[in-house]
Structure 1
Amino acid sequence: MSFLTDHVVVDGVRLAYRDSGSGEPVVFLHGTPSHSYEWRDVVPHIEAAGHRVIVYDLLGYGLSERPARRDTSVAGQTDLFGHLLDALGVEEVSLVAHDIGGAVALRFALAHPGRVQRLMIMDSVSYDSWPSPTWRRIIDEELDSYAALPQEEFDALLTRQLSMTVADTSRMSGDVLRAYLAPHASRLGRTSFFEHQVRHYDARYTQEIAGRLAELTMPVRILWGAEDQWQPVHYAERLRDDIPGAELVVVPDAGHFLMEDAPGRVVHEIRDFLTATPVS
């Protein structure tokens, strides 16, 4: 159910990715609990619009390697992202980033402003917006026991969480739901979810850059689902106010995974952003 096509070894670890199309490069960064499957209805349209599109599974996610000893936090993913660009021979990119991918993109843009031409942030974790009280309790008290859940109980837990990511719950069912659950359909997959994802839900990675957002000078558009239950719109408004010149677009009838609720609108906004903000 993945549309990734290749694998590359970067800084000693294997990443699953897709690099297709031609023209100005655009990189898509996914969130959690997710993998690059979330971009399946978006990426082909951006490729068709004349862009080179790179999308990959973060380390420990999807089809990428799940290493026993490697930092898969937002900070670790940010460092690895830079190595991936180097491996693919890409110097400057536009970024489209969702959820924790948004935190990776913001950190990378602050650390390497000359490499980011444009930045679109979608329903991103920010400031103190994460983890939710449920995930915080699991991290603090019960992570090891949850990592040992039987498959049926794990699937029920993650299904409940995934149902909260969309405004229209019918969109998170059937083959789509199975695709989101698929990377965790084994003991390794379940353990990896808690070790590589949940264990690293930590607001310090966004809090420590909160005071630096005014340093961003590239064009920034913030795209947000009006019905996002995990990242309320007031965080989007705060980002807009803290990032100079940032635009905010709130999509009605869309939740945290707005690319599931409103893929056509997401495609329109990305294409408009890439063409309406020429690189100087």
Structure 2
Amino acid sequence: MKKIFYLLTISFLLIYYPTIAQQMPIQDITLTQYKYPFPVHFLQLQVQGEPLKMAYMDVQPSHPNGKTVVLLHGKNFNGAYWDSTAADLSNNGYRVIIPDQIGFGKSTKPAHFQYSFQQLALNTKALLDTLQVTKAAILGHSMGGMLAVRFALMYPAVTEKLILENPIGLEDWKVKVPYQSVDKWYQSELQQNYDKIKQYMMDSYYAGQWTPSYDKWAQLLASWTSSPDYSLVAWNAALTYDMIFTQPVLYEFPNIQAPTLLIIGQRDRTALGKANVPEEIRKTLGNYPELGKQAAANIPHAKLVPIEGVGHLPHIEAYARFIAPLLEFLKQ
């Protein structure tokens, strides 16, 4: 009897879990109804002939230490996933500024935009100028790591310290991976749904392991896919994929002037376009244990903190092991 009850329970979960997992309401193109962990403000920009709004959070500490940290999100995320990091930094006296880049989160999704890391860095600098921040530690995760590097190269006087958490772009994929057009990226994005998003995250970010704490980020991306405006979200996603693929930053690592901390989850195997290459080539891509060492060797004044058994998102998957070296580095 117990065995029958167990099988019925498992069957119920298998049938209904996808529905349960997608209970987040459909979101509009700027996540109007989605509550961020801190108050959201907007910077008005005029870029490439278009009026744009850049969302950001500005978390003020109760006991300021006079230092500022800027948190730059990854490709499949927005500023909200820095919630715990920002809270801890604020509790330690840091002012924390968390932008949603144009094309992401609550910021504008333009119909026509030439994306570049230089332009995103310009937008981020405009935000800091508006907030009268002249120096900051710049922390970037995943795609945000590529942007953080570009920002540090463009604005060395502003960048007090550079922190890269499992940044993508530690290798030049276009050397091994065939180019994929924006139109092809766009068609692929139009086919996204919760199950595909979850599977990608589980395979690429968490090495096949999944816990309920990861699910809200898959749900949030999936909540856009049923929106009437999803085609514009997908179009911006395609444009930013092209930016990432065609604008490597690793060749300029030796030019970085700021003291740099690399926090690298050792289980990460993220690599753009690796599904489009033969297995023998695929196995050589996204080797973060080696890529982290190479990056640390090529960046002057760099310190590498490898985190064993952790994938692409240490600040979500192993928060305690992420925040401790970060706070130590910032206090140095």
TM score, norm. by length of structure 2: 0.73
The residue number in structure 1 matching 2:260 is: 220
Paired letter, 1:232: N
RMSD: 2.6
| Residue number in structure 1 paired with 2:251 | 211
Amino acid at match of 1:179: L
Deviations 1:209-239 (A, max 9, x none): 4333222222101001010020432221111
5+ residue gaps in structure 2? 1-34, 47-51, 271-285
Amino acid at match of 2:107: S
What does the per-residue CA deviation read over 1:138-161, in whole Å, with 9 as the maximum and x for residues that have no partner?
Answer: x46633433443xxx522222221
Aligned to 2:55: 16
CA contact (8 A) 1:42 1:266 kept: no
State how 1:191-202 maps to structure 2 within 5 Å: 191-192=232-233, 194-201=234-241, 202=244
Alignment of 1:163-242 (within 5 A): 163=202, 164-167=204-207, 168-171=209-212, 173-189=214-230, 191-192=232-233, 194-201=234-241, 202-206=244-248, 209-230=249-270, 231-233=286-288, 234-242=290-298
Alpha-carbon distance between aligned partners in 1 of 2:219 and 2:259, rounded to the nearest angstrom: 36
Q: Deviations over 1:194-218 (max 9, x none)?
A: 3223333233322xx4333222222
**Which amino acid in 2 is paired with 1:254?**
V
Greater relative contact order, per chain length (Cα 8 Å cut-off, separation 6+): 1
Residue in structure 1 matched with residue 36 of structure 2 by the alignment: 2
Change (3 A) 1:81 1:217: same
> Is the CA contact (8 Å cut-off) linking 1:117 and 1:219 kept in structure 2?
yes
Any conservation in 2 of the 1:171–1:260 contact (CA below 8 Å)? no
1:273 and 2:300 correspond: no
SS in 2 for 1:33: coil
Report which stretch shifted further, 196-205 or 102-111: 196-205
Superposed CA offset, 1:107-157 (max 9, x none)? 1111111110000001112253558x99965x46633433443xxx52222
Partner AA of 2:328 in structure 1: D
Instruction: Say if 2:193 is the partner of 1:154.
Output: yes
Partners of 1:148 and 1:191 within 8 A in 2: no
Report the counterpart of residue 243 of structure 1 in structure 2: 299
Q: 1:217 to 1:142 in 2, by over 3 A?
A: closer
C-alpha spacing 1:143/1:212, structure 2 compared with 1 (3 Å): closer
Q: CA deviation at 1:106?
A: 0.7
SS in 2 for 1:253: coil
One-letter amino acid of the counterpart of residue 104, structure 1? L
* Percent identity (aligned): 21
Distance 1:183 1:267 in 2: 31
User: Does structure 1 retain, via aligned residues, the 8 Å contact 2:171–2:250?
Assistant: no
Long gaps (5+) in structure 1: none
Which structure has the bigger radius of gyration? Answer: 2
Partner of 1:254: 310
* TM superposition shift of 1:272: 0.7
CA distance in 2, matches of 1:10, 1:210: 31
**How many residues are paired up?**
269
Partner Cα separation in structure 1 for residue 56 and residue 328 of structure 2: 25
Residue identity opposite 1:5 in structure 2: P
Once residues 263 and 274 of structure 1 are traced to their aligned partners in structure 2, the CA distance between those partners, rounded to angstroms, is 16
CA gap 1:273/1:15 in 2 versus in 1, 3 angstroms: same
Native 8 Å contact 2:186 2:238 kept in 1: no
Q: Any idea what the Cα deviations from partners look like across 1:41-61, whole Å, max 9, x if unmatched?
A: 211001000100111211111
Q: Distance in 2 between matches of 1:183 and 1:15?
A: 19
